[in-house]
A and B are shown apart, each in its own frame.
Chain A
Amino acid sequence: MRPVKFASLLLLAAATAAAAQPPGVVIPDWALPDSPTHKQVAPPLDFHREPVTLNKPIGIFENQTDVGAALVPGDASYDAADKSYTITSAGYNIWYTRDEFRYLWKKMSGDVSLAAAISWPDPSGFGDRKAALVIRQGLNDDSVEALVAQHGAGMVHLARREVQNTRIKDMEYRVGSRGGLPGGATPDSLMPLHASRIGIEKKGDVFQLWVSWQGEKMHPEGAPITVHIKGPFYVGIGFASHLPAAVSTAKVSDVVLENKAGRMK
């Protein structure tokens, strides 16, 4: 049913063209990302796809799910030596009223400290791809959730879907340097800075973003938000290429996951 055979072809396409449409995969227009030739829009309100769960534990996580069943399946591996997860996924986005991403999760109740370092095997990939630390009520694509995500272009946000099948809201942070990072065309070119580490803390219904931008001690960033998520819920790490049918890859390292607040490190 799902075109596994296109996966390797799509790997090649992901780095170069956001819009390259693989043969045999029909991409709905609403699923295309913003580009000079397309204005990104929300999915139709009644559009949903069932999650595909694999029964495949990985590292500290109980299982894996392609939330919202992207048009091509995801994949993940765990390197026990350096304790890092490599997640490969397509997925139009984690935004609007529904999500598509590969999710590595476990079930928990109570408070949570979840933190990780994100890196990009292909730094030139699509700027809007995102690796996320996600706490969700369910595995359905439109679930209530709170998440912290780091994007390919460096942006970090704390996002939440307060009510099922409603539009996500966020608070975004962008950091860059003029003259202090390599690669600028001129000394005045603004070059993006990628965070050293990101985290999300759940204390009751209150969720706080934590960041270390340049190796400084992890600290809360911005105001906490309130989302009502009742136990047991899903906690884990996810990745979406922000391309409906093209996979891309993120590496998630040094994951801290504790069933308590105040354990951010």
Chain B
Amino acid sequence: MRTILLAAVAAFSVSSAFAQSLVPPPAPPGIDVPDWALPQSATHKQVPPPADFHRASVTFNTPVGQFDQQTDVGGPLAPGSATYDAAAKTYTINSAGYNIWYQRDEFRYLWKKMDGDVSLAATVNWPDINDFHDRKVALIIRDSLDDGSRQIMTAQHGNGMVHISWRPEKGSQMTDVEYRSARQPRAGTDEKGPQTFHPTRIGIEKKGDAFQLYISWQGEPLHAEGAPVTFKTNGPFYVGVGFTSHLPANVLTAKVGDVVVENAAGKVR
């Protein structure tokens, strides 16, 4: 019942681009944040982590919902957590983490191991739409739990942007294709600037070496978006849902509903 309501709200979800917080909040007291880990802002130019920088991932033997275990990939400066509401079929994921980008990642990852083909899809909801705009929920397939692992994923950002992105080699830079939707402000209203459409649902399908992004922007049937990306997995891999605040030491929250995770292609829905 509640999930249906959430989906209905998401189908018409529009927010002002300027409602999204473009200003990163200050780090909590007592945590030393390296300069390279700060996001882009009016006063700071975002850069990649130093080439040799890594942090060990921290794995928790706590199954949650459809997933076997949880890991703080890249050991963010504040630990993450996650819960599952079986009645609402919704995960609540709390995580800090500088980003899932460049040559290494920091995020809370709920995962299981698989081999073969995969269908993965979910509905993303933001408890506070005004949180930092670049935070992202990602549906991720990766070789290992290392912060620089090879991986391919689709992510929905707080500002509505959806991308399919991939790290083709361990420790290499990521590449993506990004999709944004908005409408112009309505005449005779106090809307200012473009009004962002937040997608209804996102998905990713693995069929052999072909990975396909799926999107429903406004409740239309989930459809393939853009060309499939070729990516080879190395034997059994990790499959799951992740979240990063895009803030090195500040924990934010995402809700991820109606997760489809199947060990077959053609099941994205």
Other-chain contact of B178, A172, A175, A187, A223 (Cβ < 8 Å): A175
Q: Is there contact, CB below 8 Å, between B219 and A223? A: yes
* Contact assessment for A219 and B224 in the assembled complex, using a CB-CB cutoff below 8 Å: yes
CB under 8 Å from chain B, chain A span 156-211: 167, 169-180, 187-188, 190, 193
Contact of B175 among A173, A177, A216 (CB under 8 A): A177
Q: Are B223 and A171 in contact (CB under 8 A)?
A: no
* Per-residue interface assignment for chain A, residues 211 to 242, with 1 indicating a CB less than 8 Å from any chain B CB and 0 otherwise: 00111110111111000000000000000000
B178-A190 in contact (CB<8A): yes
Closest-CB distance, A150 to chain B (whole angstroms): 15
Is B225 an interface residue when CB atoms closer than 8 A count as contact? yes
Neighbouring B residues of A217 by C-beta, 8 Å: 224
> Are B177 and A175 touching (Cβ within 8 A)?
yes
Across-interface contacts of A214 in B (CB, < 8 A): 177, 226-227
Q: Are A171 and B183 in contact (CB under 8 A)?
A: yes
Question: Which residues of the other chain, B, contact A188 by a CB distance below 8 angstroms?
Answer: 173
Chain A neighbourhood of B220, CB < 8 A: 220-224
Cross-interface CB contact of B184 among A169, A176, A177, A222, cutoff 8 Å: A169
- Give the contacting residue for A170; candidates B174, B176, B179, B183; CB below 8 A: B183
Interface size class of B (residues with CB under 8 A): 20 to 34
How far does the alpha carbon of A99 sit from the alpha carbon of B207 in the complex, in Å? 46
Complex interface: chain B residues within 8 A of A220 (CB): 220-221, 223
Q: Assess whether A178 is in contact with B184, with CB atoms less than 8 Å apart.
A: no
Residues 185-233 (chain B) with a chain A CB within 8 angstroms: 186-187, 194, 197, 217-221, 223-228
Residue B180 is within 8 A (CB to CB) of chain A in the complex: yes
Chain A residues bordering chain B, tally (CB within 8 A): 28
Contacts of B182 in A (CB 8 A): 171-172, 174
Contact of A177 among B178, B223, B228 (CB under 8 A): B178
Q: Which residues of A contact B186 (CB under 8 A)?
A: 169
Asked if B62 CB lies within 8 Å of chain A CBs, one says: no
Say whether B181 faces chain A, with CB atoms less than 8 Å apart.
Answer: yes
- Cross-interface CB contact of B179 among A173, A179, A223, cutoff 8 Å: A173
Q: Which residues of A contact B228 (CB under 8 A)?
A: 216
* Cβ A180 vs Cβ B183 within 8 A: no
**Min C-beta distance of B101 to chain A, whole Å:** 9
Q: Are A223 and B180 in contact (CB under 8 A)?
A: no
Q: Are B177 and A193 in contact (CB-based, < 8 A)?
A: yes
B: residues with CB less than 8 A from A are 11, 173-184, 186-187, 194, 197, 217-221, 223-228
**Closest 9 pairs between A and B when the two form their complex, measured CB to CB:** A179-B175, A214-B227, A223-B218, A219-B223, A222-B217, A174-B180, A167-B187, A213-B226, A214-B226
Chain A interface residues toward B at CB < 8 A: 167, 169-180, 187-188, 190, 193, 213-217, 219-224
Known: A170-B184, A179-B173. 10 other contacts (CB 8 A): A171-B218, A172-B181, A174-B182, A176-B177, A178-B175, A180-B175, A213-B227, A216-B228, A219-B223, A221-B217
A-B contact pairs, 29 of them (CB 8 A): A167-B187, A169-B186, A171-B183, A172-B183, A172-B184, A172-B194, A173-B179, A174-B181, A174-B182, A175-B178, A175-B179, A175-B180, A176-B177, A177-B175, A177-B177, A178-B178, A179-B173, A180-B175, A187-B173, A188-B173, A193-B177, A213-B179, A213-B226, A214-B227, A220-B221, A220-B223, A221-B217, A222-B218, A222-B220
